Amino acid sequence: MPQKSLITSLPGQEKAASSGSATTSLAVADSPLFEFPSRPNLGGQQSSQWLGTGAFASPVLSETAISAEKFNPAIPCGATLRPRLRLAISGRTPVLKTRQLWEGTVTEVRDVGFVAILSDKTNPRNPAEQATFEFDNIEISPEDQKLISPGSSFYWIIGNECTVGGQVKNVSMVQFRRVPAWTQRKLKRVADRARRLRDLFQEEL
């Protein structure tokens, strides 16, 4: 069954097929969302430019049609209108209240998920835990998914997010740490250090 569109109609738009009737259904889908009495006929031009040819006609109006619209586009009686929501309130940003934070280290990657050691950063007295995650149950961004490999570390936050509109919702967020890559210079430094350590701890037999 086709879904009802959230945009029901433009003011004054009529369905061609029922223009002569007492009431006009203005639903863009197959069932009307609201109805209002038909307006007086504005001429033959109207039917070809204002209206489509079927129930799913495009609501796009031509310039001529708009200029020809001399009537008062009053809100029809009984119409249900959706209030315009303010999507952003200046000076406010979403606020995340962390209820639980872990630092995790991946120990094993499987086809369907990964295993990690979690250390509790909210209550460090809690013991470390091993947890098995399945990719299907946890939202990890595609960029972060590329970072999952043994040894990689991440933060897992469970908390409440207060949106700019004032809504509070529960969130669970896994974010992998971006770590720099080994450079030739750094690896050389490691190799030098390894040689020095080995010399230091050579047994004198």
Q: Which is nearer to another protein, 24 or 152 (CB)?
A: 152
First-last CA distance in the chain:
86
Tell me which residue of 40, 170, 191 sits closest to 96, measured CA to CA: 170
Task: Say whether residue 126 binds another protein (CB under 8 A).
Answer: yes
Cα distance between residue 157 and residue 101, in whole Å: 5
| Phi/psi at 203 (5° precision) | -75, 140
Task: Say whether residue 145 binds another protein (CB under 8 A).
Answer: no
Task: Say whether residue 169 binds another protein (CB under 8 A).
Answer: no
What does the radius of gyration of the chain's CA atoms come to, in whole angstroms? 32
* Sole window of 27-35, 37-45, 80-88, 143-151 interacting with another protein (rule: CB under 8 A): 143-151
* Sole window of 50-58, 75-83, 85-93, 192-200 interacting with another protein (rule: CB under 8 A): 192-200
Contacts of 11 (CB under 8 A, 6+ apart): 73, 74, 75
Task: Say whether residue 194 binds another protein (CB under 8 A).
Answer: yes
Task: Say whether residue 119 binds another protein (CB under 8 A).
Answer: yes
Task: Say whether residue 41 binds another protein (CB under 8 A).
Answer: no
Task: Say whether residue 141 binds another protein (CB under 8 A).
Answer: no
Q: Which of 80, 90, 137, 167 binds another protein (CB under 8 A)?
A: 137
Cα distance between residue 147 and residue 50, in whole Å: 54
In contact, 39 and 26? CB cutoff 8 Å: no
80 SS3 class: coil
Q: How many other CB atoms sit within 10 Å of the CB of residue 171?
A: 15
Q: Which is nearer to another protein, 58 or 170 (CB)?
A: 170
Tell me which residue of 162, 161, 160, 164 sits closest to 86, measured CA to CA: 164
Q: How many other CB atoms sit within 10 Å of the CB of residue 135?
A: 14
Task: Say whether residue 133 binds another protein (CB under 8 A).
Answer: yes
Q: How far is the CB of 141 from another protein (least distance, A)?
A: 15
* Sole window of 10-18, 34-42, 70-78, 105-113 interacting with another protein (rule: CB under 8 A): 105-113
Q: Which residues in this chain contact another protein in the complex, by CB under 8 A?
A: 99-100, 105, 107-108, 113, 115, 117, 119-120, 123, 125-134, 137-138, 147, 149-153, 158, 160, 170, 172, 179-184, 186-187, 189-191, 193-195, 197-198, 200-204
